[in-house]
Each structure stands twice: as C-alpha cells, then as structure tokens.
Amino acid sequence: MIKKAIFILFLGFLSVFSQNQSSKAPNFELENLSGEFVELKDFLGKGPILINFWATWCKPCMEELKIYNKIYEKYKSNNLQMFAISVDNEKSMSKVLPFVRSNNYKFQVLLDSENQTARDYYVQTVPHTFLINSKGEIVYSHSGFKKGDEIQIEEHIKKLLKMK
C-alpha cells in the first residue's frame, strides 16, 4: 500500500513539473563510422543540431533518413548539423556502415551500441528526433515517422536559423 502511495506521489510530481521548453540536451560522446569519438558539446554554439535515433531494422527510420538527408543538404551551408545515432546492437551493427555508404548519406552517423545515449534521451522506440538550438537546449522532439513530419522539423529549423 505504501509503495502504491509512493508511486501515485511520483505521478503527482510528474504532473506538477513538466516540459521545459529550454531544457538542456544530455551530452554524449559516441563513435562515428570512421572510428573517431564525437562529443555533442564540441558542436554547440555553431547552429541548430538535428539528432535522429534510428536502426537498420526499422522501416520508418529508412524513410525518415532519406528525407533528413535532403533537409541536411539544403541547410548545411546555414550551419545545420545532424547526427543520426544508430541504436543497432551487436546483431545488426555490422549493417550500419554498408547501409549508410550505399545510400550516400552525408550527415554524421554515430553508434550507440550500448544504448546509453538513447536511455539518456528516454528513447523507447525508433525513429525518434530531437532538435537542439545552438545553446544546447531541446526545442523540439518527435517520436515515430509519418510522411509530413518533416514539414514541422523544417519549420523549426528555419526558425532557429532565423529564415522565412
């Protein structure tokens, strides 16, 4: 009974505090496909950062990455940066590099094989997208992918880049 009461209290706590529109994005240090380690904080202050969690076995992720590649190509000259963080585990991580190479993706692909970064961002299902401003604050997040989701993402990117 006490435990249930504690649980309800927790949920009460949840309902009092909530989404901070200027919440700090958890930092991460992950390996890229060249074997170098990339840390989020080294990229802050340069422009908006699009972070997408994906996996090779996830079909909507494939569709979304194709669209994000176009968005990245369109805005990279305006300092948009993108990290596609693969949550593929040891069973499918061998497919990541061939998949990225054969699709000619230009954005940075990072490997989160221990899923620590996915846990820090509370990612339960992929794809999951976060948009971070140059101060390192999460300004938008979205779980799943449906065609048309990219319109909202692009609007947020334009807003951060102060474009019309």
Partner 1 sequence: MKKILLFVILLINTTFGQIIELPSGISLSNQLEFSYDNELQRQTLENWFNLDYSYENFKTGLRYEVFQPNDINPAINRGKVNYSDISFKYLEYEIGEKKSKINTIIGNYYTTFGRGLLLKIYEDRNVRVDNNLQGIKFEVNFNNFRLKAVSGMAENSKAERKDVLRGFDAEFRGIDKLNLGFSVVSNQPYFEEIKPTTLFSGRFAYKFDVFDIYTEYGIKKNSQLEENLNENYVGKAIYSNLNFYINDFSISTEFKYYDNFSLTSYDGTINYNTPPSLTTDYSYILLNRHPFSLNPNNEVGFQISTDYLVNDENKLTVNYGRTYSLEKDSFFKKISNSTTESELLLEDVFTKFENTSNSFGLIFGFGYKMEAITNTKSLTPVCEFKYFIDEVNTIKTVVEHQQSNVLSTDEKYFDDVLTLEWMNSPDFSLSFVGEMETREPEIDKIVRNFWGFIRFGYNLFDNSEISLLAGSRQAGNICIGGVCRYEPEFSGIELKYNVRLF
Residue window 131-150: x/- pattern of binding to partner 1, with contact defined by CB under 8 A: -------x-xxxxx-xxxx-
Strand-pair partners of 131:
50, 140
Rounded-to-integer distance, Cα 97 and Cα 105, Å: 10
DSSP state of 25: P
Strand partners, 83: 51, 108
| C-beta neighbour count of 69 within 10 angstroms | 17
- The residues with which 158 forms a beta bridge, in sequence order, are none
Q: CB of residue 118 vs partner 1: minimum separation in angstroms? A: 10
CB of 132 to partner 1, least distance (A): 11
Q: How far is the CB of 163 from partner 1 (least distance, A)?
A: 19
Site string for partner 1, 93-132 (x = CB under 8 A): xxx-xxx-xxxx--------xxxx--xxxx-xx-------
Q: In what order do the strands lie in the sheet with 49-54?
A: 23-24, 137-143, 128-132, 49-54, 81-86, 108-111, 29-32, 37-39
Residue 14 as a binder of partner 1 (CB under 8 A): the answer is: yes
Whole-number Cα distances in Å, 59 to 55, 127, 145, 151: 9, 9, 10, 20
| Positions 49 through 78 that interact with partner 1 (CB under 8 A) | 55, 57-59, 63, 66
Which residue among 45, 46, 74, 89 contacts partner 1 (CB under 8 A)?
A: 89
* DSSP string over 94-114: GGHHHHHHHHT--SEEEE-TT
8 near partner 1, rule: CB under 8 A? yes
Binding site residues, partner 1, CB under 8 A: 3-4, 6-8, 10-12, 14-26, 29, 34-35, 37, 39, 55, 57-59, 63, 66, 88-95, 97-99, 101-104, 113-116, 119-122, 124-125, 138, 140-144, 146-149, 151-152
